[in-house]
Each structure stands twice: as C-alpha cells, then as structure tokens.
Amino acid sequence: MTKKNRDALRDALQVKAKARQAARLAEIRDALLMLGYDSATKQGIALGVNRKTAWNVLNRDRGAGPSAAVIKRILSSPNLPPFVRRKVQRFVDEKIAGLYGHSNCRTRAFRDQFRNRNSEKSDGVRIAPPDGMN
C-alpha cells in the first residue's frame, strides 16, 4: 500500500469516527428533546451545566467532543434523566474505547479522568468497551 493510499484510508476512518461521535451527541440531544427539554436553558438544567455549555455540547462542531470535566459534571447532575444518563455513559464508553478517532494519548487522557487510584470506576462511569457497534 502506498503512502498516499494509507493516508486516504486513515482520513476516511477519521471521518467515519467523527461522524459516529456526532451521531452519539445527536442521540443525547434527541433524548432530551423527546423528554421535553426543548431549549438550551432546560437542557442545561437537566445536564447540570449552563445554557451555553449545553448548547455547545449538543450543537457545535464535534471535532474533539465535550471535555472529560464537562462529561463528569453532566453525569453528576441530579436532574439528568436516567434515559439520557445511559446515552451519556454510552458516549463515554465509546470514547474510552477509542471509537471516535482520537489518538491513543488523547483517549488515554480522557479515560484517566474517569479513573481513581484504587479501581476501574469513578464518578459512576463504567469503564468498559461498548456493546456491539450500534
């Protein structure tokens, strides 16, 4: 395989991974909308973040996706509906598994934000590969 072909394949895989990430974030947004959280203000209350952060997580360009700090804040929100929480946890599991095209270093840094020193869990987030490729 030539360098040009390898680069083209890598780029195609990167585009697919980013599309997968965008789809997962859209699922979170759609779940909130389905439950009646139809404004950035209401979504922010449910997610436990301010209105602008909620809008950015759910609507902006999803190159890197939300930071681990934002995800941890969302998962700690007492107002987060269980259905949406499962969607967020699935997003975390897939990001930790490296399915969104980030480098090994960035994936490891994200994963490490959810680990504590004594176990594989922290902040109630499962550290496990996602089930299937759905």
Q: What is the pLDDT of residues 21-45, one digit of tens each?
A: 999 999 999 999 999 999 999 999 9
Of residues 42 and 10, which shows the higher confidence score?
Answer: 42
pLDDT category at 116 given cuts 50, 70, 90 is: low
CA distance 37 to 57: 14
pLDDT: which is higher, 78 or 126: 78
From CA 41, how far away is CA 98, in angstroms rounded? 31
User: What is the length of the chain?
Assistant: 134
Distance between CA atoms of residues 122 and 2, nearest Å:
44
Angle at alpha carbon of residue 79, lines to 76 and 80, rounded to 5°: 65
Please give the Cα distance from 7 to 10 (Å, whole number): 5
Place of tokens 């941890």: 72
Tell me what pLDDT residue 61 has: 63
Where residue 122 falls among pLDDT bands split at 50, 70, 90?
very low
pLDDT at 28: 96
- Highest mean pLDDT range out of 61-70, 101-110, 124-133? 101-110
Do 65 and 5 form a contact (C-beta atoms < 8 A)? Answer: no
In the chain, where the domains are located:
3-112
Dihedral of the alpha carbons of 116, 121, 125, 130, in degrees to the nearest 10? 120
What are φ and ψ of residue 28, in 5° steps?
-65, -45
CA distance 47 to 70: 9
